[in-house]
Amino acid sequence: MLNMEDKDYLKIFAHKVRTLREQQGLSQEKLAERAGLHRTYIGMVERLERNPSLVCIYKIANGLGVHASQLFI
């Protein structure tokens, strides 16, 4: 079970993923393609329905063309 601090990290991550994706004019489908993930997974991450693994965080960062650390600030 996630505590409040964990949920805060997920909110920051989800918001940053969506913001960067939209700034780059990418659909969830296009980001998923770039990241090697399924489109529904990206949507679930953005809606805080998934707790992404470290590997998926790096895949998403790569799909967005940013360092993974940028997804948490």
Q: How far is CA 69 from the centre of its chain?
A: 12
pLDDT value at residue 49: 95
Give CA–CA dist 58/60, Å, rounded. Answer: 5
pLDDT value at residue 5: 80
Nearest alpha-carbon partner for 63 in 27, 22, 35 = 35
Average pLDDT over residues 2-13: 86
Pair 42, 35: CB distance under 8 Å: yes
Superfamily of domain 4-71: lambda repressor-like DNA-binding domains (1.10.260.40)
Q: Report CA torsion sign: 43, 47, 53, 57.
A: positive
Over residues 24-42, the pLDDT tens digits come to: 999 999 999 999 999 999 9
More confident residue, 20 or 72: 20
